[in-house]
């Protein structure tokens, strides 16, 4: 119980000190206990998302405090004792215009950076690496196209509890085969669902993209920070939805080249399948 209160006090302090910031133990690539705010951003899009989120929390806070102040003023000034003869005023043109125009201005003020961020997310840069992501019940598959040194496809399954512990990785986030990408490269993801709708989402990398059967969705990210970034399927997709983790490992370009060479030997080749895949994609488009 004491521990709970200590934590609550800490949480309250964090609230006061850094609203919406990642000040209190925000995980890099994974959530952490009693984390406040979002996971530490490591891509330009995630950075921008963070900034907008923080700005919105401040706007919400100021509006809430303003309304609270009004409520308190009304309770104090206009109760029966303090104000025995109430005013009969029912309309005030100036006030009514103000409380219509000011919220509109606030919303427009929010919409402008919001649409700018949306454009930043949606407009794909020239890809350095393309990875095709397939959502399956209940695991992910990754395909690396042959024309970029890949030409293989593999499944990424969640680790059992004991295996995750052995690998010193968090259960329900750890996988057997991680998706590997180079740092400082524009990675474009082509996301598609093989059975039902899934959603490919990694908070630290700043993307969430639905994997829809029969539709090719695209998103992108770029990070200069090596590391292991976890995410989870973020669209209810059935019984094992809770255990459909995503693990993206960002490594230096040299290590990436080495991994590619290894992976080509280890995983199933797609070059024989290439014609089949092209045909499938043609029907998708």
Binding residues for Cu ion (CB under 5 A): 198, 233, 237, 244
Query: What span, in angstroms and rounded, lies between the C-alpha atoms of 90 and 108?
Result: 29
Cβ distance to Cu ion smaller for residue 233 or 260: 233
Contacts of range 103-107, beta carbons closer than 8 Å, 24 or more positions apart: 106/59, 106/63
Rounded to a whole number of angstroms, the minimum distance from the CB of residue 203 to Cu ion is 16
Task: Return the number of the residue (130 or 234) whose C-beta is nearest Cu ion.
Answer: 234
- Least distance CB 212 / Cu ion (angstroms): 12
User: Which residues does 264 contact at the CB level (< 8 Å), separation at least 6?
Assistant: 150, 151, 152
| Residue (198 or 222) nearer to Cu ion, CB | 198
**Of 183 and 199, which CB lies nearer to Cu ion in the complex structure?**
199
Smallest gap from Cβ 253 to Cu ion, in A, equals 31
The position carrying tokens 């009969």 is 88
| Separation CA 205–CA 267 (nearest Å) | 25
For the bound state, the minimum distance from the C-beta of residue 86 to Cu ion, rounded and expressed in Å, comes to 58
**Cβ proximity to Cu ion, 202 vs 244, nearer residue:** 244
Give CA–CA dist 111/129, Å, rounded. 32
CA 97 to CA 141: how far, in whole Å?
55
For the CB of residue 250, give the shortest distance to Cu ion in the complex, in Å.
23
Q: Within 13 Å of residue 209, how many CA atoms lie on the same side as its CB?
A: 25
């Amino acid at each position: 119980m004491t521990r709970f209160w200590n934590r609550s006090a800490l949480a309250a302090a964090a609230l006061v000190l850094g609203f919406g910031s990642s000040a209190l133990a925000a995980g890099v690539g994974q959530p952490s206990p009693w984390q406040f705010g979002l996971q530490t951003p490591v891509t330009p899009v995630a950075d921008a998302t963070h900034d907008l989120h923080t700005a919105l929390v401040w706007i919400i806070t100021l509006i809430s405090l303003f309304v609270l102040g009004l409520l308190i003023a009304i309770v104090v000034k206009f109760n029966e004792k303090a104000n025995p003869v109430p005013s009969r005023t029912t309309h005030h043109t100036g006030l009514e215009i103000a409380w219509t125009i000011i919220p509109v201005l606030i919303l427009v003020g929010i919409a402008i950076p919001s649409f700018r961020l949306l454009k930043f997310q949606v407009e794909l840069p020239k890809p350095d690496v393309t990875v095709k992501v397939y959502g399956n019940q209940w695991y992910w598959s990754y395909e690396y196209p042959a024309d970029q040194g890949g030409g293989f496809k593999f499944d990424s399954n969640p680790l059992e509890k004991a295996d995750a512990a052995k690998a010193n990785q968090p259960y329900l986030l750890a996988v057997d085969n991680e998706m590997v990408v180079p740092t400082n490269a524009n990675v474009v993801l082509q996301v598609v669902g093989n059975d039902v709708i899934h959603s490919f989402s990694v908070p630290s990398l700043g993307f969430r993209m639905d994997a829809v059967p029969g539709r090719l969705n695209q998103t992108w990210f770029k990070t200069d920070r090596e590391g292991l970034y976890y995410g989870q399927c973020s669209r209810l997709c059935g019984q094992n939805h809770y255990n459909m983790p995503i693990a993206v490992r960002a490594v230096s370009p040299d290590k990436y080249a080495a991994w590619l060479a290894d992976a080509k030997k280890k995983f199933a080749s797609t070059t024989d399948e290439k014609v089949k895949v092209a045909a499938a994609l043609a029907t998708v488009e």
